[in-house]
Each structure stands twice: as C-alpha cells, then as structure tokens.
Amino acid sequence: MKRIAPILALLLVGAAACSSGGRTESSGPVEITIWHGQADIAAKSIEGLVAKFNSTHPNIKVRTDSGGATADAMLPKVTAALAAGTYPDIAYLYGSWAPNVAHSPKAADLSKVVRDPKIGWNDFWPNTRQVATVGHKVIGFPANVDDLAVLYNKKLLAKAGLRPPGPDWTWDDFRTMAHRLTDAATQTYGTTWAVSGGEETTWTYWPLVWQNGGQILSPDMKRTAFDSPAGVQGLTLLQQMAVQDKSVYIDSSPAEKGQKLFESGRLGLFLAGPWVLPDVQAAKIDYGIAPLPGTNGDHQTISGPDDWAVLDHGSRRVKAATEFLTWLTAPEQQLVWMNDTGALPTRQSIAKLPGYQAYLRKYPGVDVVTANLANARQVRPASTRYPRVSAYVAGAITSVLLGRSDPKTALDDAARKSDALLRVPGA
C-alpha cells in the first residue's frame, strides 16, 4: 500500500476556545483540526487546499499540525488520542481501519448527513462508499482510491533485451524478468518488497493469495484462511525470487528505500500505484505501467480506498468538518489533488471535467491504473482484528524473504497467533 506519508501531531487545537477578547464556543469561526498523514508533494497539495478553503470560508478555520503521525502510523495515533481525549476532528485512515474507529462513540455517524444531495454521495465509486460504511454507520468521506499495479523502467528492460510486459503476463514472466534485470555489479535489482512490518508488506501479498483462490479470513471472520495452499503458493514465489534468485531488494526501511531505488534507475519492476508518479516523474525516469501479473488468467489486484474519518467534538464542529470535507471532496478540488499527486478519481463525475484530459496527459499510464480498478474485486476484511492479523502475516513474509523460515511454517505460525486473537471476545 500505499502509499502517502508523514505529518501531523497529537496536539489538538481547541475549537473556538475562549480568547483574551472573550470569544466563546458558540461565537467566532469554528476551528477544527485535521491529521492528514501526507508527506512531500501530497502534503503540499493538501496544505494548499486547506489554505484555499480557509481563505474562502471565514466561518471555519481548518488547522493542520506537523507532529509525527504518518498515514501508516495513523491508527495507533488516533486510538491513543481517542483514549486521551486529544483526538482531531478529521483523520486520514486506511479503509481497513474503519471498523477499529467505528466502534468508538467518539466517531461521528454521518449516515444521515451523506443523504444531502449537495454531497453527491452516489457519485463516489461504490467500493469507496463501502469502505467508509461500517454496518449502518458512515464514519467519514472517501479520501483516496488506488490499486496495485507494476511500474517498469523502460531503459533497464531495453538494456536486458526484454519487451515491456503485456496485459496477459504471468507471475512466471514477472519472476523471469526480475531475474534478468538483476545485476549485482551495479546493485540493480529486479524488484523490491517492503519488510518494515507495516501494511505495505501484506497488501502487496494479498493479490497472490486471491489469484490462487485463497482468502485472508473465513467468511464469518472467526478464523484465518491465508495459511491455505493458495497462501503458501503465493509466498513460495516470493521466497524463490528473494532467496534463490536474489532478485528482490528487501526494503526494511520505513522511509521506503525501494521507491528511491526505482527513482535512481536501479530497479526494474516496482509494485506500486499512482501515488508514486509525481516522485518518479520528478526523478525523470522513463517508466511504463502494467496491470499486476496474473495466475491462470486472473489479474486480480488490491484496491486501497481510504477515508477522511470525522471524530465528534460536538455538533458545531462535526458540522464544520462535514462542510470542509464536502468542499474538499468535490470534483473540482479532487482534480487539483489528482494533478498534484497522481491520485485516481474518487468520483465518477471527475472524468467529465474539462481538465481531466490534461490530467491523463500529465501522468502517462494512469489510465491503465484507473482501468485496473475493474480487477480490484475484493477488499481487506472489515474486522477490528485485521490490523493485528496483518502484522502477524507481515512477520511471516519477512522471515521467509530473509531466509529464516519456509512459507508453510511461517504462515502456520502467523495463523496460530491470528486464530488465538480471533477467538478472544471483544479483542
């Protein structure tokens, strides 16, 4: 995953707190705080949009803070802040985390709010609405949608005598290409895999499980299913590439050095998505984009819809947060965000805007990633236990890629830990 990184803090700026002039909670602009978790180009973009909103909406003051909560680390930050009462009004959360926040009474329920025609709720892609909805509770607005594809370095492929991957390529093709692209003398690698222990490690693995006919959890989410032959087969491929072929750069850095390797021209195949396009273009890499390799014709990928979760500090601030997010997620602002970051459209109507074709020209290949959303047929389990299950699986993947365990043993161990967790009531 994804996908988008540092910013924000645990300090909450009190909304419309009393000033020396005696301003009260019910007078003056409503102040709300957003923890957006973005870094670099994405951070500049969201900060610019916030500034524009503040300049055009004098009754609301949106504040961001430069603490240390990244998008990857937002769930524990928000969870701790909810317990301490220092939570923001809006927080950027991965869609798989929605159940962990939805159960809190401090999570606003926007199920009635989104019926307002001016929000255009049905204009959002169905899977983004699905992720923002837990049971009958809508916890926020769709923030982002993407899917996993493969970026490839055209120059390195040509040097190795390889043709660019086509729409029907397989994981065997991927492995062969990665092996031929690897050159120890120049420290050039075929591909990379993150093993920093976060969701980035597992989210790139799940398509291999799904394409082989497996699942993450059982349908009732009470037991694991990833330790099936499908899961072992997927992890065995990664083991062969990393341990036998030595064509995988094992990325243990939270700073995502694998991406920097691609930007430096020393990585041939990069499992990523549209969120890296601005950085790749800034590095002047001549790249192409292909859908994920397939298994028996199945090119199923993973999509990562994320949410702007709204947290309750009283009706006045919830209303202000809703007004801000209605503006932020409107097609016009989303197209600005897309042009800045390479993000995919969260709304269907964005494609009808006059500037949409310019966006497609700016990011060659992004149309491939958008069309690839049709292959994103599954989402991660909507379970409060999923983040911990994912962490166990990430540990299993890491141990295999580092040559410390075999796929079956590692997955069985992760399954035992996960099943024990899933059996605990209210865990």
**285-306 per-position pLDDT tens digit:** 999 999 999 999 999 999 888 9
Quick one: which H or E segment has residue 304? none
Please provide the CATH number assigned to the domain covering 149-302+379-423. 3.40.190.10
Per-residue confidence (pLDDT) for residue 60, from 0 to 100: 97
Query: What residue type is 303 in one-letter code?
Result: S
pLDDT band at 46 (very low <50, low <70, confident <90, very high): very high
Per-residue confidence (pLDDT) for residue 374, from 0 to 100: 81
Q: For residue 308, which of 115, 118, 85, 64 has the smallest C-alpha distance?
A: 64
Over the stretch 182-201, which tens digit does the pLDDT of each residue have? 999 999 999 999 998 778 89
Name the CA radius of gyration of the chain, rounded. 22
Per-residue confidence (pLDDT) for residue 5, from 0 to 100: 42
- Average of per-residue pLDDT across 242-257: 91
> Can you read off the two tokens belonging to residue 293?
């390799």
- Average of per-residue pLDDT across 6-30: 46
Helix (H, G, I), strand (E, B) or coil at 308: strand
Residue 69 pLDDT > 80: no
Identify the DSSP state of 289. Answer: E
Q: Are 298 and 211 a contacting pair, CB within 8 Å?
A: yes
Residue 122 pLDDT > 70: yes
Task: Please report where in the chains the tokens 């047929």 appear, as a residue.
Answer: 377
Burial class for 415, CB neighbours closer than 10 Å (0-12, 13-18, 19+): buried
* Vertex 263 angle, CA 262 and 264, to 5°: 90
Instruction: Give yes or no on whether 30-146+304-353 and 149-302+379-423 have one common fold.
Output: yes
Cβ neighbours for 102, distance < 8 A, ≥ 6 positions apart:
134, 135, 137, 139
Per-residue confidence (pLDDT) for residue 25, from 0 to 100: 53
Quick one: which H or E segment has residue 163? none
DSSP lists the bridge partners of residue 107 as 311
How far apart, in whole angstroms, are the C-alpha atoms of residue 255 and residue 34?
A: 23
Give the distance, in angstroms, between the CA of residue 84 and the centroid of all CA atoms in the same chain. Answer: 26
How far apart, in whole angstroms, are the C-alpha atoms of residue 263 and residue 215?
A: 33
Please tell me the total number of residues recorded for the chain in this structure: 427
Higher pLDDT: 168 or 371? It is 168
Beta-sheet pairing, 30-35 with 60-64: parallel
Query: What residue type is 54 in one-letter code?
Result: N
Q: Helices 229-239 and 407-423: crossing angle, nearest 10°?
A: 130
DSSP lists the bridge partners of residue 287 as 153
Quick one: which H or E segment has residue 64? strand 60-64
How far apart, in whole angstroms, are the C-alpha atoms of residue 204 and residue 2?
A: 9
- pTM score, whole prediction: 0.79
Return the CATH architecture of domain 30-146+304-353. Answer: 3-Layer(aba) Sandwich (3.40)
Residue 18 pLDDT > 50: no
Residue 23 pLDDT > 50: no
Identify the DSSP state of 291. Answer: P
Identify the DSSP state of 63. Answer: E
pLDDT winner (highest mean) among 11-15, 19-23, 25-29, 221-225: 221-225
* Vertex 100 angle, CA 99 and 104, to 5°: 100
Q: Where are the domains of the chain?
A: 30-146+304-353, 149-302+379-423
Burial class for 315, CB neighbours closer than 10 Å (0-12, 13-18, 19+): exposed
Q: Are 62 and 29 a contacting pair, CB within 8 Å?
A: no
DSSP 346-410: SBGGGGGSTTHHHHHHHSTTHHHHHHGGGG--------TTHHHHHHHHHHHHHHHHTTSS-HHHH
Q: Mean pLDDT lowest for which of 1-10, 148-157, 286-295, 356-365?
A: 1-10
Residue 171 pLDDT > 90: yes
Give the number of other Cβ atoms within 10 Å of residue 81's Cβ: 21
* Vertex 71 angle, CA 67 and 75, to 5°: 90
